[in-house]
Structure 1
Amino acid sequence: MTSDDTAPASPRVSASLDQGGSPTVRSLDVLSALRPEQTEAVLALLAEAALADGQQAVSEQGRLQLRGGAREGVRHLLLTAQGLLVGYAQLEDTDPVEAPAAELVVHPAHRGHGHGRALGNALLAESGKRLRVWAHGGHSAARHLAQVLGLTLFRELRQMRRPLTDLDLPGPKLPDGVRVRTFVPGEDDAAWLAANAAAFAHHPEQGSLTQRDLDDRKAEPWFDPDGFFLAFRGGELVGFHWTKVHAAEGLGEVYVVGVRPGAQGGGLGKALTTIGLRHLAGQGVPTAMLYVDADNKAAVTVYERLGFVTYETDLMYRTES
């Protein structure tokens, strides 16, 4: 499908009463790709919501998927009222086992009029009532909407942080025979994708990244191969630590740390994490952050020993079926 094939067969129109008793006419478009002006409108909505909420309502992956035309399994839901874009949702149905995953947001100036519920019901319809939905930050309004939609909590993703201004970690101790160098774009792509898939075979969101996903990230202004560390044993890539700097926020991120199953348990993950943290401290950012599943007790313990504490929590809800 080309970027011109973005119009739905027919927009869905619904009406309800707002808090003042006036009718609110909504129109919902479900699209496989967005035109440039639609992308910019969604990004503007996301920026307004992030300013009001203190965090992004749509993940980095979701924001990258706004551009570049159609992507397999991805649908965009645009909700308009009186001709204004008041809400956006993204539905991704690429996991061969799990239910489709979604993120949604309503413009701060248009909340309290049932738009979130309208988007949620549309997501349920599009997914065949098999749905997972992220609530970034776990705000009370999101928890209430999940309850209204009949969704139950099943995943907790923690954002952890630690200061870098007083970083005093022992030197990294690499396992015998392991050497570390930085990523070379174009030369290391295939090897990294294979290592990432092996390290995150249990984690479809990360483990299913493709060359297109990697290219998207390499094209971002924040990408720096000097902060992307690869660990080799002989000629095999056995682990990696990809760091990221959020310059405007003064944050350095432990973006992703991965170790191949056969190389786990020897301290490589901790060594790579230390190497990355020292790099971030050298970039002058005052704080490090990372994301980790709350039920990954081993990883949480490692990060706590490295001085990280929980900063905020993202919650995922799903249908029972």
Structure 2
Amino acid sequence: MGTIFRLPWAVMTQTPLTITQLHLPDARHLADKVQQLLADVQQHDGVAAFSEQFIHGLTDTRLAHQHFLAQLDGRIVGVLGLAADQAELAVTPAYRRRGVAHRLVAAASYGDGNLSLWAHGNLPPAQGFVSGFSAEKTRELLVMATKTRLPAVQPSADYQLLTLAEARNRWGKSADQELIRVNNEAFAWHPEQGGWDEERWARAQESSWFNPDDVLLLVRMGAETTPEVMGFHWVKWLEAQVTGKAAVGEVYVVGLADRGRRKGLGSALISAGLEVLWNHGAELVELYVEADNKSAISAYEKLGFAVVESHAVYTAPKSEWSVNSR
């Protein structure tokens, strides 16, 4: 049973808006309704309100996400997902500008410290919402995309490209251990991608779209018993994406080992992954990159990518979100 907050609903109705705190994996019937709300929001806004990890949090109890539902007359009109000090928020379009987002953020702003709120697409309504708080933009994630297929870039003769499936056949579990090592070297600074272990890597492979043939490893030649992985490129291809609109592939994760940097290996890795996606039938390829990673942005621009969307994180003390949301 979740915690219920009954808050005044003064706009166009006398019915109180109810905010309920709960763990949605324990209430699957409500999780299904939330997923429908998120689908409606994405269709209206043209961008998903929840990221992949927060979508998983609706049904995966291991992520330990908390959820806040805004309900009016028994109908869910808004949802906020909370993972530690990170939150993502969605309000059904018909109930915006009525204080729903404010009430959800206030309910989630308990305790000390800061709360960081994602604004996917960084759309004007979201910017207008955060402008009412003393919140700072603390992170920006860019979406870049291309429809241009350039000639493939080949690695030097000192290296070979193998799929994860091929590497597992040759080296067994060592292939996965090497991939985890390189991932953690490449993303030691990253709040979501860094610090992985075998359990976290196993969870990542549970995605319905995971395919070991879509994970490419760049391996130094000569390895017999253990591969020396210099980098990897994991691409995302959803068969469902080819129906109804342009077929979209994604440069999901690209990482270089510490000893693989400044050797020009990144271009060959990226190019190899792009070839996989084009060969799958992709008409558009997109990727996500931190806005302050100027070198990566420049490299992607040389490959024909251009910025098409941005996502922002706004951070403020919980006391600020709570006081100004009342």
Gaps of 5+ in 2: 319-326
Distance 1:290 1:87, change over 3 A: same
Contact kept, 8 Å, 1:246 with 1:253, in 2: the verdict is no
Instruction: Give the deviation of 1:287 after TM superposition.
Output: 0.7
Whole-angstrom CA distance in 2 between matches of 1:143 and 1:132:
14
Q: How far apart, CA to CA, are the structure 1 residues paired with 2:18 and 2:202?
A: 34
Query: Matched residues in 2 for 1:210 and 1:39: separation?
Result: 28
Task: Tell me the residue number matched to 1:53.
Answer: 45
Q: Deviations over 1:103-140 (max 9, x none)?
A: 10011222222101111222322x53511111011111
The one-letter amino acid paired with 2:42 is: A
Q: Is the 8 A contact 1:33 1:70 kept in 2?
A: no
- Classify 1:210/1:38 alpha carbon distance in 2 versus 1 (closer, same or farther; 3 Å): farther
| Match status 1:172 vs 2:164 | no
In structure 2, C-alpha distance between the alignment counterparts of 1:189 and 1:110, rounded to whole Å = 47
Q: CA deviation at 1:23?
A: 2.7
| 1:86–1:110 contact (8 Å) kept in structure 2 | yes
Report the identity percentage: 31
Q: Does 1:103 align with 2:88?
A: yes
- Cα 1:38–1:212 shift into 2, 3 Å: farther
d(CA) in 2 for partners of 1:278, 1:189: 23
Calculate the TM-score normalised by the size of structure 2.
0.85
- When structure 1 is superposed on structure 2, of 145-154 and 103-112 the one drifting more is 145-154
Give the conservation status (yes or no) of the 8 Å contact 1:31–1:77: yes
**Matches of residues 212-227 of structure 1 in structure 2 within 5 Å?**
212-227=199-214
Aligned 8 A contact 2:237 2:250 in 1? yes
Deviation at 1:232, TM superposition (A): 2.1
CA contact 2:214–2:234 (8 Å) conserved in 1: yes
- Per the alignment, do residues 13 and 189 of structure 1 end up closer, same or farther by CA in structure 2, a change over 3 Å counting? farther
Cα shift readout 1:231-254 (whole Å, capped 9, x = no counterpart): 223322221100012442511100
* Greater alpha carbon shift after TM alignment, 261-270 vs 305-314: 261-270
Instruction: Output the amino acid matched with 1:75.
Output: Q
Q: Residue deviations 1:162-207, cap 9 Å, x none?
A: 104xx12243234x63222111378444432232122100112111
Query: Which residue number in structure 1 is paired with residue 63 of structure 2?
Result: 71
Matches within 5 A, 1:177-216: 177-184=158-165, 187=173, 188-216=175-203
Aligned pairs (5 A) from 1:306-317: 306-317=303-314
Counterparts of 1:257 and 1:288, CA distance in 2: 14
Structure 1, unmatched stretches of 5+, are: 1-6, 94-99
Q: How far off is 1:271 after superposition?
A: 0.9
CA distance in 2, matches of 1:149, 1:211: 40
1:318 aligns with 2:311: no
What is the deviation of 1:210?
4.8
Q: 1:195 to 1:32 in 2, by over 3 A?
A: farther
Q: What is the rounded CA distance, in whole Å, between the counterparts of 1:226 and 1:199 in structure 2?
A: 21
The reply to whether residue 38 of structure 1 matches residue 19 of structure 2 is: no
Question: Which residue identity lines up with residue 183 of structure 2 in the other structure?
Answer: N
For 1:251, give the aligned amino acid.
Answer: V
Q: Helix, strand or coil: the match of 1:295?
A: coil
The Cα offsets for residues 26-79 of structure 1, whole Å up to 9 and x where unpaired, read as: 22222244222122111111111111111110001111121132434x212222
Tell me what 1:298 maps to: 295
Report which of the two has the higher share of helix: 2
Conservation of the 8 A alpha-carbon contact between 1:32 and 1:70 = no
Q: 1:293 Cα deviation (Å)?
A: 0.9
| Correspondences of 1:243-254 after superposition (within 5 Å) | 243-247=235-239, 248=241, 249=245, 250-254=247-251
Are the equivalent residues in 1 in contact too, given 2:183–2:255 (CA < 8 A)? yes
1:264 paired with 2:280, answer no
Identify the structure with bigger relative contact order (alpha carbons < 8 Å, sequence gap 6+). 2
Q: How many residues align?
A: 301
Distance in structure 2 (CA, Å) of the matches to 1:49 and 1:281? 30
Q: TM-score scaled by structure 1?
A: 0.87
Would the aligned equivalents of 1:117 and 1:149 in 2 still touch at CA under 8 Å? no
Question: Which of 132, 140, 143 is residue 148 of structure 1 equivalent to?
Answer: 132
Q: Secondary structure in 2 aligned to 1:78?
A: strand
Counterparts of 2:143 and 2:150 in 1: how far apart (Å)? 22
Task: Name the counterpart of 2:145.
Answer: 161
